[in-house]
């Protein structure tokens, strides 16, 4: 975040809040426990998120309550839609403030990017809290498990809406936009697609850790599996101008749970895209050695310290370097990779030299092990 949006909102808070309320056609709302929620309070919560990387006030403003699972999706959806509406309010306020055309465009681009970051951070926070609940529910009743599963399903709805708006804006179906703004819109779309994958991953993790869960074993083509993973991360790789290169042995087939193996490979590939420098190449290799199938993804990013290799696959683990660089993530992706591989009777590994990229590998048996 450049700080341009935060500075403008701080300087024109009252007017932006007034315009935002007019666009929403809303007056201050009564809280369930008393008090009101005003447009100015909403803007203050956004400023805290922009300036201090803290979405807590936004969660409080929208009463995101994890004890009310069946209302959670409605509150999150409202928050995401209201964040999106802040862009046109800011644009109108910029015109009224007399900013020149170049400054208006610069502010619009920053607003699109910064608000997408806040929306992603808000969704990640909610998803992470839900993941912690999933972890704590291993001994809970099946009724509570069903409730959480429904909640995860409902979380997809607001994310899908946000993603759909991004697609419509990108294609011009909601009106023409400057070419330079298309990059920002693509960023919003990629962020929401990432969050949809995270929600899917959380739901998948709860099933993978269910002792009654069974893998769906079927004939699987290595090429088809890799193609499915590449398709999922294609938008993110394009935004970073990364090339996805393939080096696959021909006609390799094996038996496995195709959907879950695709998810595992997608997680590794998405991890590589997050860490790869712009304009670099990510290589996906696949081959058979004896009775084992190998799938490896190598990036040209900063790599990781050798002592972290084993910890990378731990649940919720995020390296110090990731946190320092503010790389988005929940610490679940590689844990899911490991869980999927081990459920197939296989294994995972990670190799790196700091500054020389990293390679992550999945190894599974060609035939189902009894």
Domain CATH number, residue 297: 3.30.565.10
For range 166-195, the mean pLDDT? 71
Query: What ranges in 172-289 are assigned the alpha helix state H?
Result: 179-208, 222-239, 258-275
* The pLDDT value given to residue 361: 96
pLDDT class of 143 with cuts at 50, 70, 90: very low
Question: How far is the CA of 272 from the CAs of 31, 268, 275, 278, 303, in angstroms?
Answer: 44, 6, 5, 12, 10
User: Do the domain assignments include residue 213?
Assistant: no
Highest average pLDDT, of 1-5, 167-171, 225-229, 237-241, comes from 225-229
Same domain membership, residue 186 and residue 65: yes
Contact 202, 130 (CB under 8 A): yes
For range 167-191, the mean pLDDT? 71
Highest average pLDDT, of 99-103, 238-242, 352-356, comes from 99-103
From 208, 235, 253, the end of a domain falls on: 208
Same domain membership, residue 194 and residue 249: no
Q: Which residues span the domain enclosing 187?
A: 4-208
pLDDT class of 219 with cuts at 50, 70, 90: very high
User: Do the domain assignments include residue 110?
Assistant: yes
Q: 258-275 and 333-343 are packed helices; what angle lies between their axes, rounded to 10 degrees?
A: 150
For range 296-323, the mean pLDDT? 81
Question: How far is the CA of 163 from the CAs of 126, 135, 166, 167, in angstroms?
Answer: 17, 28, 5, 6
Number of independent structural domains in the chain = 2
Query: Is pLDDT larger for residue 259 or for residue 148?
Result: 259
Same domain membership, residue 261 and residue 154: no
Take residue 23 and report the two structure tokens written for it: 């666009």
* The pLDDT value given to residue 153: 61
Same domain membership, residue 200 and residue 157: yes
Q: Is the confidence at residue 370, as pLDDT, over 50?
A: no
Q: Is the confidence at residue 83, as pLDDT, over 50?
A: yes
Alpha carbon distance, N-terminus to C-terminus of the chain: 52
Same domain membership, residue 308 and residue 196: no
Among the listed ranges 39-53, 214-228, 315-329, 333-347, which one has the minimum average pLDDT value? 315-329
* The pLDDT value given to residue 285: 96
pLDDT class of 54 with cuts at 50, 70, 90: confident
Same domain membership, residue 261 and residue 283: yes
pLDDT 10s digits, 85-133? 888 999 999 999 999 999 999 988 888 888 888 888 888 888 777 777 6
Same domain membership, residue 303 and residue 184: no
From 208, 233, 260, the end of a domain falls on: 208
* The pLDDT value given to residue 117: 86
User: Do the domain assignments include residue 370?
Assistant: no
* The pLDDT value given to residue 156: 64
Element (H or E) spanning 349, and its range? strand 347-352
Same domain membership, residue 288 and residue 182: no
Q: Is the confidence at residue 34, as pLDDT, over 60?
A: no
Same domain membership, residue 280 and residue 133: no
Rounded Cα distance, 153 and 149, in Å: 6
Contact 248, 285 (CB under 8 A): yes
From 208, 230, 247, the end of a domain falls on: 208
Per cent of the chain over pLDDT 90 is 27
């Amino acid at each position: 975040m450049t700080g341009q949006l935060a500075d403008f909102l701080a300087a024109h808070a009252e007017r932006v809040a007034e315009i935002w309320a007019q666009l929403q056609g809303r007056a201050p709302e009564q809280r369930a426990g008393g008090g009101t929620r005003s447009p100015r309070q909403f803007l203050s919560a956004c400023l805290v998120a922009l300036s201090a990387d803290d979405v807590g006030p936004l969660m409080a403003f929208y009463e995101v309550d994890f004890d009310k699972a069946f209302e959670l999706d409605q509150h999150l959806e409202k928050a995401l839609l209201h964040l999106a509406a802040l862009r046109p309010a800011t644009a109108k306020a910029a015109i009224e403030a007399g900013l020149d055309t170049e400054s208006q465009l610069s502010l619009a681009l920053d607003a699109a990017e910064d608000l997408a970051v806040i929306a992603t951070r808000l969704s990640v926070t909610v998803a992470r809290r839900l993941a912690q609940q999933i972890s704590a529910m291993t001994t809970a009743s099946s009724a509570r498990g069903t409730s959480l599963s429904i909640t995860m399903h409902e979380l997809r709805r607001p994310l899908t809406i946000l993603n759909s708006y991004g697609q419509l804006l990108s294609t011009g179906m909601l009106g023409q936009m400057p070419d330079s703004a298309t990059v920002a819109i693509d960023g919003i779309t990629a962020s929401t697609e990432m969050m949809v994958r995270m929600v899917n991953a959380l739901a998948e993790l709860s099933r993978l850790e269910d002792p009654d869960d069974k893998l769906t074993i079927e004939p699987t083509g290595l090429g088809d599996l890799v193609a499915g993973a590449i398709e999922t991360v294609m938008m993110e790789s394009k935004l970073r101008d990364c090339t996805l290169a393939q080096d696959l042995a021909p006609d390799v087939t094996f038996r496995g749970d195709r959907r879950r193996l695709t998810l595992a490979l997608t997680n590794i590939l998405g991890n590589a895209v997050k860490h790869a420098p712009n304009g670099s190449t990510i290589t996906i290799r696949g081959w058979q050695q004896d009775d084992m199938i190998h799938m490896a993804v190598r990036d040209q990013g900063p790599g990781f310290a050798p002592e972290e290799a084993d910890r990378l696959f731990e649940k919720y683990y995020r390296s110090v370097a990731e946190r320092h660089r503010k790389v988005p993530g929940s610490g679940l992706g590689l844990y899911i990779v490991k869980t999927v591989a081990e459920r197939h009777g296989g294994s995972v590994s990670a190799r790196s030299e700091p500054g020389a990229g990293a390679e992550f590998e999945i190894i599974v048996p060609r035939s189902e092990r009894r």
